[in-house]
């Protein structure tokens, strides 16, 4: 046997020993031979680990969590009952009962509150989401503090970089941010405020107010035909 094959075998045996130790402590595996768990990681009883999950570094996972297939976690802290599906979580904290993914990316410094939702193709960087806040899909949250029970619609972007410096925004409790909104930091959105879909927000929004920052729709009937763009069928 070559030295390289010997090294592979030793690593596989050590990985299986680590996984078996977790299984003895009440951790459940879909396929115990395909999970990769760092020796420093701590995982609570009742947590389920999917195939090809990777848990690296000084990670702490609470009881009754779900770490889904192909999820990667490094140096992070999870509460109880957290669900993570096919996502990447790095140097972040997730509160009890929060749901992450599928296909979410939590970059360093992310703090997700209890019962919050970070959905598919959502990226969070150096930001916090309060308890019950939701960003269900296709959103970038960078350098922002999001309050409790906030709804971030599809396509919301926190525009945090002006070309030279990063800036931070705050969204108050219970605010509603519509789809395809750009929040140009630094701004403060007050508690319970609404931002209409398609708005680019550049100034602070008082609590309970509505911001609409888009052009009024115009309908030019017959425009296609006059321009000669009508295609024959």
Instruction: List b or e across 46-81, with b for residues whose CB sees 16 or more CB atoms inside 10 angstroms.
Output: ebebbebbebbeebbbbbbbbbbbbbbbbbbbbbbb
In angstroms, the first-to-last Cα distance of the chain is: 69
**Cβ–Cβ < 8 Å for 193, 175:** yes
- Is 83 a catalytic site residue? no
Looking at 22, 83, 137, 167, which residue is catalytic? 137
d(CA 19, CA 189): 46
How, if at all, do strands 72-74 and 88-90 pair? Answer: parallel
In Å, what is the CA distance from 63 to each residue of 30, 31, 86, 150, 201? 17, 19, 19, 27, 41
The set of catalytic residues is 137
């Amino acid at each position: 046997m070559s030295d390289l094959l010997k090294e592979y075998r030793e690593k596989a045996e050590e990985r299986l020993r680590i996984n078996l130790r977790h299984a003895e402590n009440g951790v459940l595996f879909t396929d115990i031979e395909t999970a990769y768990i760092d020796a420093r990681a701590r995982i609570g009883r009742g947590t389920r680990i999917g195939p090809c999950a990777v848990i690296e570094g000084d990670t702490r996972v609470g009881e009754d969590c779900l770490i889904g297939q192909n999820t990667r976690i490094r140096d992070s802290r999870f509460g109880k009952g957290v669900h993570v599906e096919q996502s990447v979580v790095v140097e972040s904290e997730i509160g009890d009962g929060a749901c992450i993914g599928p296909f979410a990316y939590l970059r360093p410094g992310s703090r997700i509150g209890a019962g919050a939702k970070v959905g598919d193709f959502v990226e969070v960087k150096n930001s916090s989401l309060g308890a019950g806040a939701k960003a269900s899909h296709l959103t970038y949250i960078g350098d922002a503090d999001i309050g409790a029970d906030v709804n971030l619609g599809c396509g919301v972007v926190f525009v945090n970089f002006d070309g030279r410096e990063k800036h931070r925004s705050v969204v108050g409790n219970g605010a509603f941010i519509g789809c395809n909104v750009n929040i140009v930091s630094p701004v403060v959105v007050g508690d319970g405020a609404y931002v209409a879909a398609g708005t680019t927000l550049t100034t602070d929004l008082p609590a309970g107010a509505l911001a609409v920052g888009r052009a009024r729709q115009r309908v030019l009937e017959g425009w296609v035909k006059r321009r000669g763009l009508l295609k024959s069928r």
